[in-house]
Amino acid sequence: MTLIRCILSFLVIVSGVVDAAICYNPDRSTTDNVPCNIDAGNSTCCAKGASCLSNNLCLDPTFRGQDGLSINNKYYRGACTDKTWNSTACAPICKTKLPGFGEGVVYCGSGEYCCQEDASNCCDSNSAKKFNLGEPKIFNIAGNQVVGTAVSVPSATSSGSRTSSSTSSSSPSPTNDSGASSTTSDQDPPNNSKGKTLALSLGIGLSLGILLIAITIGAFWWIKRLQRRQKETQIEMKAQLKEQELRFDNMEHALRQAYFDGRQFELPSREEVSHEVGDRGEKTTYRHEVE
């Protein structure tokens, strides 16, 4: 009843959070890409298993080299959880030529990128625009996180764990560029701390769920106890009331007795008095005949 309803609404809330992680192409069509950073309100999305770059580009695993970066400098612009694509968490380039799909991006070096759709070899082409998004840097594998733990974690917690684990290995290399990578510029180096972050968010998600269920059960038990107490008090009060009534009846009885006893001497008259005392069935009749 109440408990079941509570659990149901909890599940609805959780599934609502999971449903929120939809990824959109620049033309607002949905994709099966998955968010790179489920902790964030807005996140870039890449195909499941692809590498997510800190500048919000993606790397297909077939091009992934030993160092985690592309072996042929080919990356792509993926999707984004922000339908409007106005968020700085979305990739800022190569959105117009293939708005309903991912679009190829080539790294030209020195932090510069160009769109593969602009020219066959866009790095060497003067007609292809170059965008500075900083050197490619991997921070996650898309879909590596357990979706069920998509409980919004305060960003201070996650970024705190990130910085503490990444300070040693990645000294300030976020490159000289603007806006685009600002949201994710302080992300992980590829491998070691990713597991930690995952374990942390899994732990937080699980304990939040358990805490919620415990609170629900506790509240349920408490309310039941309160109801039981109330019932007990009611019964007790009823018993007391009954007792009082009985006492009052006895008193009345005694009073009447005294009254008639008194009259016997005081007022000699021919009188027949019939009284019924008590309304609980015990009929008592007093008959006085005085000559």
Nearer to ligand NAG, 176 or 269 (CB): 176
What does the block give as tokens for 123?
């790095």
- The span from the first CA to the last CA of the chain, in angstroms, equals 75
Beta bridge partners of 109: 112
Residue least distant from ligand NAG (Cβ): 41
Site for ligand NAG in 259-288 (CB under 6 A): none
| 178 near ligand NAG, judged by CB under 6 A | no
| 159 near ligand NAG, judged by CB under 6 A | no
Answer yes or no: are the C-beta atoms of 176 and 97 closer than 8 Å. Answer: no
Select from 60, 64, 87, 277 the one that contacts ligand NAG (CB under 6 A).
Answer: 87
Site for ligand NAG in 180-209 (CB under 6 A): none
Q: Which has the closest alpha carbon to 50: 79, 22, 92? A: 79
Which segments within 9-146 are labelled E, that is strand?
A: 23-24, 30-31, 34-35, 44-46, 51-53, 58-59, 74-77, 79-80, 103-109, 112-115, 131-132, 138-141
| 9 near ligand NAG, judged by CB under 6 A | no
Cα atoms found within 13 Å of the Cα of residue 267, Cβ hemisphere only? 9
| 39 near ligand NAG, judged by CB under 6 A | no
For 97, 114, 116, 120, 246, the CA distances from 124, given in Å and listed in that order, are 19, 10, 11, 9, 108
Task: Give the shortest CB-61-to-ligand NAG separation in angstroms.
Answer: 26
> What is the distance between the alpha carbons of residues 190 and 68, in angstroms, rounded to a whole number?
7
| 84 near ligand NAG, judged by CB under 6 A | yes
Site for ligand NAG in 113-152 (CB under 6 A): 135
| 110 near ligand NAG, judged by CB under 6 A | yes
> What is the distance between the alpha carbons of residues 183 and 284, in angstroms, rounded to a whole number?
94
| 73 near ligand NAG, judged by CB under 6 A | no
| 41 near ligand NAG, judged by CB under 6 A | yes
Select from 2, 9, 29, 86 the one that contacts ligand NAG (CB under 6 A).
Answer: 86
Nearer to ligand NAG, 182 or 284 (CB): 182
| 26 near ligand NAG, judged by CB under 6 A | no
Q: Is the dihedral of CA 48, 50, 54, 56 positive or negative?
A: negative
| 35 near ligand NAG, judged by CB under 6 A | no
Select from 24, 43, 59, 82 the one that contacts ligand NAG (CB under 6 A).
Answer: 82
* Contact residues: ligand NAG, CB under 6 A: 41-42, 82, 84, 86-87, 110-111, 135, 175-176
